[in-house]
Amino acid sequence: MKLSNIVNNIDCKMIGKDVEISSITFDSKKVDENTLFVSLKGDGEIGLALKNGARAIVSKSEVIGVTNVIVKDERLALSKICANFYGYKNNKISMIGVVGTNGKTSTCVMLAGMLKASGKSVATICTGKVTIGNEVIETDMTTPDPTELFEYIGKMISKKIKYCVMEVSAHAIYYKKTDAIDFSYLIFTNCTQDHLDFFETFENYKKVKMSYFTCHADKYVVNSDDETGVEILQNGKALTYGLNNPADVFAINVKHYSDKITFVLNMFDSIKEITLKNVGLFNLYNFMGASTVAYCLGVSLNVISDYAKKMDVVRGRCELVGEVNGGKVYIDYAHTPDGLEKLISTFKGICKGKVYCLFGCGGNRDRDKRSKMGIISGEKADFTIITSDNPRYEEPCNIISEIEKGIRTTYGKYITIQNRAEAIDYSIKLLGKNDVLLIAGKGDENYQEIMGTKHEYSDREEIKSVLNLL
């Protein structure tokens, strides 16, 4: 593709020949002779890109001796350039984004399921996984970088898929990864503490999420019970869902069981009795957010109701993996204070026996949440098993020690077992009739990251291995 077509409708100045481009990257190691290199790190990376044969450079300042595109904002330019290169146009595919600390994946999967149940073609971009038709692509991020993101969207368009439901992370918003996308709908789930290692304060983190609900979508769908959601609603109009504050979509007569939730759904004053094959108040919120958009896109309440009865549990999210001695073992992705509190509270409300909680915290991430999560498990669970998560470049024992500082301020009983597989083995053997073991933090992840290496590991497989020996 000619460079002039790639930078079309972008605020820039092009100096030099209108060269042919066959790939785009911001990683100098991936440059070849027909690559357009977008500089995000400055002159050092530009030098390496030129040495590797870059055909053209996108940068803030002029680069001599090569075709150069000068822009004011390299990250915004990267998003728009990739959108043009891979053929994204908003009239070819309807994009639906989900923003929030918790519930993004579940909301995406539920909405995609409802759309599919009504006969619509849909793809998803979720944490660790992109699904395009029958093709499943593993990824490293919640929201891929623009060079990958728009390649996936281009594939969807070529397959004539009409809808894409995707997660939009706070990092993606900050780095303007999705700024070239005109969303049809944006759903806001909630905002609670996370990623303070990067954003430093909760206020900064919240502002980034809120900033996206201004001019990035045709319509917004907001959780009216969330404090940040209320702030978003003060700044403009949106469709709303909730249980406590006034909302366009809400549920009444909510009843929780060990394997389902029943309720009456009020969808813009249309009423439907729903049996949701899932547990937890948080999943009811996820369902309401998803069904609001589905209904607005023409999915009937009958189809939504049928889907709720038959839906598969989202992998790694409140997923029952096995049973032993009359007790049940669940895995969940809960890795924030709010997520862990809601997970344990859900099962304390429906479990007839003891609730055991096994979790750790990720290394080189928000340290402030470690003691808070220790307090939550100490106060809520009957017994806590503190273990390792993804320690990355930190010593696992140091992370565990910081979690301990919190749990020691409670009367909660606990044990520390650094090796996660051994901790799972120990915990499963504690279970008796009607007990529940919640293994939190990793969900559907298939690795454990230690000192820069992702080792093959799965909570699900470890559980099955232990159960097979009992």
Strand ranges for 325-435 from DSSP E? 327-332, 355-359, 383-386, 414-416
- Looking at residue 422, which CATH number applies to its domain? 3.90.190.20
Average pLDDT over residues 104-110: 97
State which of 85-94, 230-239, 424-433 shows the largest mean pLDDT. Answer: 424-433
Q: How far apart are CA 298 and CA 312, in angstroms?
A: 22
**Res. 42 pLDDT band, cuts 50 70 90:** confident
**Res. 91 pLDDT band, cuts 50 70 90:** confident
Residue 35 domain-assigned?
yes
Question: Which residues, at least 6 apart from 176, have a Cβ–Cβ distance to it below 8 Å?
Answer: 73, 75, 76, 78, 79
Strand ranges for 180-269 from DSSP E? 183-188, 217-223, 239-242, 249-256, 261-267
Q: Decide which of 310, 330, 357 is a domain's last residue.
A: 310
Residue 78 domain-assigned?
no
Is there a single domain that holds both residue 291 and residue 383?
no
Q: Decide which of 310, 342, 360 is a domain's last residue.
A: 310
Residue 324 domain-assigned?
yes
- pLDDT for 165 beyond 90: yes
- pLDDT for 56 beyond 90: yes
By the 8 A CB rule, do 241 and 252 touch?
Answer: no
Q: How far apart are CA 64 and CA 87, in angstroms?
A: 30
Residue 48 domain-assigned?
yes
- pLDDT for 297 beyond 90: yes
Tokens 């307090």 correspond to what residue? 375
**Res. 237 pLDDT band, cuts 50 70 90:** confident
Is there a single domain that holds both residue 15 and residue 43?
yes
Is there a single domain that holds both residue 242 and residue 380?
no
- pLDDT for 381 beyond 90: yes
Residue 15 domain-assigned?
yes
**Res. 117 pLDDT band, cuts 50 70 90:** very high
Average pLDDT over residues 129-150: 95
Q: Can you give the residue range of the structural domain that contains 395?
A: 319-469
* Structural domain count of the chain: 3
Is there a single domain that holds both residue 159 and residue 298?
yes
Is there a single domain that holds both residue 150 and residue 297?
yes
**Res. 299 pLDDT band, cuts 50 70 90:** very high
pTM beyond 0.85, yes or no: yes
By the 8 A CB rule, do 407 and 374 touch?
Answer: yes
User: Which tokens belong to 399?
Assistant: 């992370």
Summarised one tens digit per residue, pLDDT across range 329-362 is: 999 999 999 999 999 999 999 999 999 999 999 9
- pLDDT for 326 beyond 90: yes
Q: How far apart are CA 66 and CA 51, in angstroms?
A: 12
Is there a single domain that holds both residue 225 and residue 287?
yes
What's residue 330's pLDDT? 97
Average pLDDT over residues 177-190: 97
**Res. 169 pLDDT band, cuts 50 70 90:** very high
Residue 263 domain-assigned?
yes
Residue 83 domain-assigned?
no
SS3 at position 313: coil
What's residue 370's pLDDT? 98
Is there a single domain that holds both residue 164 and residue 242?
yes
Share above pLDDT 70 across residues of the chain, in percent, rounded to a whole number? 100
Is there a single domain that holds both residue 264 and residue 378?
no
- Looking at residue 268, which CATH number applies to its domain? 3.40.1190.10
Tokens 């969808």 correspond to what residue? 267
Is there a single domain that holds both residue 152 and residue 214?
yes
SS3 at position 28: helix
Is there a single domain that holds both residue 109 and residue 41?
no
Is there a single domain that holds both residue 181 and residue 277?
yes
What's residue 470's pLDDT? 85
Is there a single domain that holds both residue 142 and residue 286?
yes
Residue 14: CB atoms within 10 Å: 17
What's residue 251's pLDDT? 98
**Res. 44 pLDDT band, cuts 50 70 90:** confident
What's residue 235's pLDDT? 84
Cα 310 to chain centroid, rounded: 23
Average pLDDT over residues 113-137: 96
Residue 77 domain-assigned?
no
